Amino acid sequence: MIRFLLKGIARDKNRSLIPIIIITIGVALTVLLSGFIYGMMGDMVDQNARFETGHVKIMTRAYARDKDQLPNDLALLGVDTLVRSLHKEFPDMQWAERIRFGGLLDVPDAEGNTRAQGPASGMAVDLLSKNSEEIERLNMKSSLVSGAIPKKSGEALIGDDFAKKLNLKIGDTFTFIGSTMNGSMAFQNFKISGTIRFGSAALDKGSIIVDISDAQLMLDMPNGAGEVLGYFKDGVYDDEKAQKVTEQFNAQYAKNTDEFAPVMQRLKEQNNLAGYLDYVDSFTALFVGIFVFAMSIVLWNTGLLGGLRRYQEFGIRLALGEEKGHIYRSLIYEAIIIGIVGSIAGTLLGLGGCYYLQTHGINIGQYMSNSTMLMPSVIRAKITPYLFYVGFIPGLFAMVFGNMLSGIGIYKRETATLFKELEV
């Protein structure tokens, strides 16, 4: 009987090809859209983590209160001891010291007079250590537009647009003018080793990147850092794990009333990301839910129409002595087969689309030129395990549900009218 049904499905295009095409399209759209939304939202969180918040971040309590003002006078000191103890206490995490600073970038001409000037937003990271993960974490190699990553002290990277604006080339020297940790003026010359573009207006605007040891020297912060960022080794933010680490770390300083005592915050607690992440979670679930629901209605309707179209066939089968329950079950089995085939095809198609969008992405840079929001200018889909089954909700369940509803008509069918019905 199964073979008989399969033959029917294979030969009747209205029963197989058309529903399979509809399911495939619906499932592919569900998978693609889900992957795109998760990718886009995930990228924003990931970019925040890599560049600004870490999965957890340690600052002094005073720095944490005014962190938007980058108050390096309230920075952590003795960070090498702190980082050593962090490695010991949390061996599953990676730690990175960072200093963020602001100031004026002055470009001299051949005579040493100012040729150009511009406000600079600086970030000091570990560029020169052998084991530094920062170059990879900040995706510097692929973000490099020209030149090279600093190999020695006194070299700096500069934002590509910033360099063009100031007419700076590789090998040129600029002077950074700012203030030290102690409030006195800071001057430091840097040689441009390369230009960089991260693809986010908030990161690229007036940016310079230097090695942390240069920044410590320049800002008079020996063994100091504004922030120590912690990352889970798998690179994925897990709020539960982050909370445990944070609670464990902060418990050690609970009784310390010093405002320069370190305090740890998890990603969700920073930059108003808690609300954003909750919003993303519920918005994503809602969006995917609405789409899945809409596709479910379309596919349910397909199942319903398929069942109604075969009204005469069911009449013949009833007259020939097939039980109503048997016909109903066969209808459901067919829906399962069609649903599975369509869902697999749709999932593969959707994953293919996601893979393309994950690899190439959609460039929204032209719309983001004046944005200060830390989000990527190329938004990409992300293939996650969730995408391998999300399409089966509308593809399989809606199809089967539609057939189950339409099949109820089989039980309501009056066999007494079959002769009359089958004369038409």
Partner 1 sequence: MENKNIISIEHVTKRYPVGDGEFTALSDINLQFKKGEFSGLVGPSGSGKTTLLNIMGSLDSPTEGKAIVMGRNVAELSHKESAQLRNLHIGFVFQIYNLLPVYTVFENVEFALLLQNINASRRKKMVMDALEWVGLQDMADKKPSKISGGEGQRVAIARAMVKRPEIVLADEPTANLDAKNAHTIMKTMRQLNKELNTTFLFSTHDEKVMGYLNRMIHLEDGKVRKDEPIEKPQYA
Q: Interface residues with partner 1 (CB under 8 A)?
A: 1, 4, 7-8, 11-12, 15, 312-313, 315-326, 415-416, 418-420, 422-424
For residue 282, how many other CB atoms are within 10 A of its CB? 11
Given the complex with partner 1, which of 8 and 365 has the nearer CB atom?
8
Given the complex with partner 1, which of 104 and 422 has the nearer CB atom?
422
Question: Closest distance between partner 1 and the C-beta of residue 322, in Å?
Answer: 5
Question: Closest distance between partner 1 and the C-beta of residue 19, in Å?
Answer: 15
For residue 63, CA distances in Å to 7, 60, 271, 302, 350 come to 72, 5, 14, 60, 46
Question: Closest distance between partner 1 and the C-beta of residue 326, in Å?
Answer: 8
Question: Closest distance between partner 1 and the C-beta of residue 296, in Å?
Answer: 28
Given the complex with partner 1, which of 124 and 410 has the nearer CB atom?
410
* Cβ(192)–Cβ(158) below 8 Å: yes
* Cβ(132)–Cβ(213) below 8 Å: no
CB environment 366-390: b (16+ within 10 A), e (fewer): eebeeeeebbbbebbbbbeeebeeb
Question: Closest distance between partner 1 and the C-beta of residue 311, in Å?
Answer: 12
Given the complex with partner 1, which of 161 and 322 has the nearer CB atom?
322
Given the complex with partner 1, which of 205 and 413 has the nearer CB atom?
413
How many angstroms separate the CA atoms of 282 and 103, rounded? 40
Given the complex with partner 1, which of 66 and 313 has the nearer CB atom?
313
How many angstroms separate the CA atoms of 154 and 189, rounded? 7
Task: Show contacts of 114-119: CB within 8 Å, 24+ apart.
Answer: 115/167, 116/165, 116/166, 116/167, 116/168, 117/166, 118/162, 118/165, 118/166, 118/206, 119/206
Given the complex with partner 1, which of 11 and 255 has the nearer CB atom?
11
How many angstroms separate the CA atoms of 249 and 90, rounded? 9
- Apex CA 66: angle with CA 79 and CA 372, to 5°? 105
Question: Closest distance between partner 1 and the C-beta of residue 309, in Å?
Answer: 12
Q: How distant is the alpha carbon of residue 209 from its chain centre?
A: 24
Q: Give me the residues paired with residue 42 across strands.
A: none
Given the complex with partner 1, which of 43 and 334 has the nearer CB atom?
334
Question: Closest distance between partner 1 and the C-beta of residue 314, in Å?
Answer: 11
Given the complex with partner 1, which of 153 and 312 has the nearer CB atom?
312
Question: Closest distance between partner 1 and the C-beta of residue 16, in Å?
Answer: 10
Question: Closest distance between partner 1 and the C-beta of residue 26, in Å?
Answer: 25
* Cβ(48)–Cβ(267) below 8 Å: yes
Give the burial class of 229: count Cβ atoms within 10 A of its Cβ; 0-12 exposed, 13-18 middle, 19 or more buried. Answer: buried
Task: Of 304, 313, 295, give the one whose Cα is nearest residue 405.
Answer: 304
Question: Closest distance between partner 1 and the C-beta of residue 422, in Å?
Answer: 5
- For every residue of 225-245, DSSP letters joined together read ESEEEEEETTS---HHHHHHH
How many angstroms separate the CA atoms of 33 and 185, rounded? 52
Given the complex with partner 1, which of 26 and 307 has the nearer CB atom?
307
